[in-house]
Structure 1
């Protein structure tokens, strides 16, 4: 009798017990995915797996346990944040705030051990999380807590796309036990988009990306966490059995091979001077990463030296965090004004004594809505804390209360729209925001919608910037505006543009910019030169307006400024319905059935198309030649329906976005990581680790010529070209 057929104490064959455990895990996974709205198997397939599990338990009742899927009721999954003890204590780091403190740490270390290399990495301003894998499977995730005990957040962490539930064993076998430490964060751009959405929905905005990440991870309903684009980078190993490494950098290579996300900005250096150079570089390039950083972590790379140095009661002696100065300053809040956005929402903003922060002079900052002003407790005249990170719009954080003189006074939300004078009101009962109801004729709303249409997320019209959007919708008298609503985008003439004079407005606040020579609001003749002739930019504008008529359907859909419909939802809708008419005719139930479209988006779409002048915009654009269907919409199934591709390296004939659009237009999907579910990898020059992983998994790799064949002839023809070429080098 083989070992696999031997029986356990309960008389259950080992093979049966293993199959029972496998089925239990699979069914739990599928139940979880179903609950989150992203099932990967059909109901029939799920039922067949459940029947097999029941049959095993009928034959072997000792296998039945309270946590078996056969014993669970299909109730909503939720996190209760139970306290869990970490396998190894999660420590803090000692800090250095200047070069003197860094040098002192270096002297202490080198006095005790012979240091040959330091590992430098960015200190992410996120939330510390502990992951535990058993035999390659994620069994638990927890917050740091007090270092010994944290809160279990496994279900929420499983919604993070970059964290594998099962480690990839294609390169190295998974260890028996692996405890991984890292930082969960929200990318800065995603943070801004999340705050904008929360404010749009009348909810409180998060103060910073770290708070947003923490709040997202501590949602009791994992479906809410799943809507937040959280990411994680791992930076350490706790308890482990079956994983062998001698250096910190080597451990990162192992973690990456198992599919765990590691930073690509680490550096192993040989001296403290090189450490200083790394710190100086990221002090200058602090906003290059997609996430916020607040310093650099320096570690000894040699693990044996780490063990020799050991730890204090709270921190390892072999590592230190060099902290950058905060990007917060104080200034005087001179006034609070309001601006109107493209959806009619009226937003307060702060007018401040100009101050230098994050490398630029700041005079205005967002305050989100009247409730946020009240919540933060700021008064006009206050000294306030101002925060700015990179290109993010500055934000008033809080007042400095002890500096008040008694001359400060509260902000009162206006009753009229600052652009058109319409009476402001709530769109629906319970809304936190006030909106201008004059959607069609409010020039401020039209200006903002036009600027959005020209943006990269929509039609991407480079020659139509914010000044041009102002000129087309709000020319100074006596000229009539060439655009009265978006339907006129393709209908104005050169003759209408030449006499236009316009104010130059700040796009963040809509405040007129000041002419430095006169001190008066800046006025420009935007389309004509001093001789009254059309500038070169005018022809460029008309050329680009002609080009954008062939933009893909999803971009046209985004350009309509339907509330809650961003690029991701628009791509899903265009891929599913394949024409504007089909989207407009779809019921809310049909819209919700689309992957990535929820009830809020579905309701917004049906509500938007129910308005007559909205439908007139679509018809005007259609008459002008704007594409209202996906390519091949009438041709039945598309060449790449159901296929998943990864594009890596540089292609000569395609930008990364262009390659993605080409695949999506044919029904395929482009993802950012290689897995066993990837159908093809397209490799250009210098493809990197994705190429290596595809080769090890045996996934077909196509060069640019093969990619062209795939797009023109389909997967069968491309499969004949599967030669997994040598890695192409960049010229």
Structure 2
């Protein structure tokens, strides 16, 4: 769907679109967190913008896992979680000078500044690296973390200590007793190129760009590996602090420098939008000669008290914005198309290119996104193509230079089977990606699926991380989840670990204990651990609470698998204006095999055949109804090809919906998935029934929305506690909302609550109510 179709979406289409966007962006967040992004920043921003547009039109459909409620990427299970003293939020983007002028004008309006009153900003190069939050107590570095999801990050203290630019002890004596210093870890371009050249010569892993290199280097389990990487650091902000140490952003940067941190020398204090644009133009010209990658300029209101007044809206501060540089382009020859299979089975085409330099970086590969994109642009092997690099991730092909096409260039035929395991690759209705159906039998998906299975929010198996899963799968020891539990009782394999892999008796005992501890598992963790597409942590909880036990959920999944609607029924049901009542009328109609009204036009035939069907629905049916036999077939499809009662039950669970319900049905429809599940259950001791929400609390049955920067608990903790007390947690405010719990920085949701007369509570008032 293109952005201009938002205004024509039905509620059903909008719900499916939001589910698709949430899943797609979650996948890209995970790829970004692993330093292997597939799309450009601009493409990711476009997905976020479309999600926001659909939510604005259908506010009651905002999902609990909506991208609009998230900041950054999830925290990896291989590092301890660190909660930031003050959230590290994302910045909104400006893409042209008009956006910058609007930003400055919004600041003036919010602060009620007159046209002649000075408005100063600090403009800083937007370094393309990895954000870090470093906590000092009494001048000593005590902890460092990634940004993570904005609320909590990964503990990478030992790795950050290996970077020479980051002081272990602050200089001087004017620093606060406790302070978080924030900045960007990056790799200089020449040092990055040298590392890649050496790694390629030695047959080791190379990185696509300096940002991926910096992210991958900081996420090394062994700090000695990080110490050998050429990483640098620029400080740019503070987080939580015990005392005020500056009144402006410019003063804060000067303080950081006096304490021993590098501060970007091209950061500059300027007046109003004209000053910001002047810095932007200068940095755009100097960009290639800086020696490190930047993808834009960050503008911040200089006065810190004004920053505090401006506060936040949604996931971004009002007082700052990132002005992105435009994409850079070049032409080259497409030498081939490789198909990569992702952890969820998605088949992604990647262009192999004749090497070309774009914006100072040699590019050999580019994303082609999906088969529709290849067909739309008519990209063929041998074509000369226009290449665009934006955001310094994998570039994309913009267009084909038609006049340079070879005479023998043939249209590309996208594969219908997985190139890794040979399983059928299908394209679910409404999706742009083709997916391998091999699941856990597909080598490309195996390790990623197992990583999900043992992850912190699924089975949470101690001592079984990516490194071990790769080693065990390469030996053929682990091919499905049940094999993990079999391993703990396989003395022959455990003996190999001791003899060949250097495992001591204690390590083996810990591994066995970690595995055996999860032979008893809660129902929601089991459902989430299965890795069913579209079934996230929150949906797993909803399914668990609805069915109560594994046996009930399993029976429902199998029954749903027998009642998957046909593609023809799905197309019929998704027609604009076709409601459940319309389908019911079609299904219950008794039609004569011979056309009773041979001379009547199609619209009139439909009105006579299906009395009570409204005009919008008839207009949707007309293109499908070429003649009377087709009208009879539409009635049969509505009657016989629809979803089963069980599938309808799952789809009707509040917060689940038809997309997730269909995913459950399709999962259990595959014989190899059923075999994997049966084998896993046989290895478990007990699946604990779901805890039923309480009905006798002060908030049972109430709808609650949390907003702002919560300080007494994380958003996940707040949701879990509220739901355990029988409340329904929503992501948007409507007239049906009972309570809005507002932390600092509450924005549009607070205004919506006041408009609808919703009761607004502080965190303390909420805690008082539920305790």
Question: Which category describes the TM-score, using the shorter chain as reference length?
Answer: 0.3 to 0.5
Greater helix content: 2
TM-score if structure 2 supplies the norm length? Answer: 0.44
TM-score if structure 1 supplies the norm length? Answer: 0.46
Flag the structure with more relative contact order, 1 or 2, with Cα contacts below 8 A and sequence separation at least 6.
2
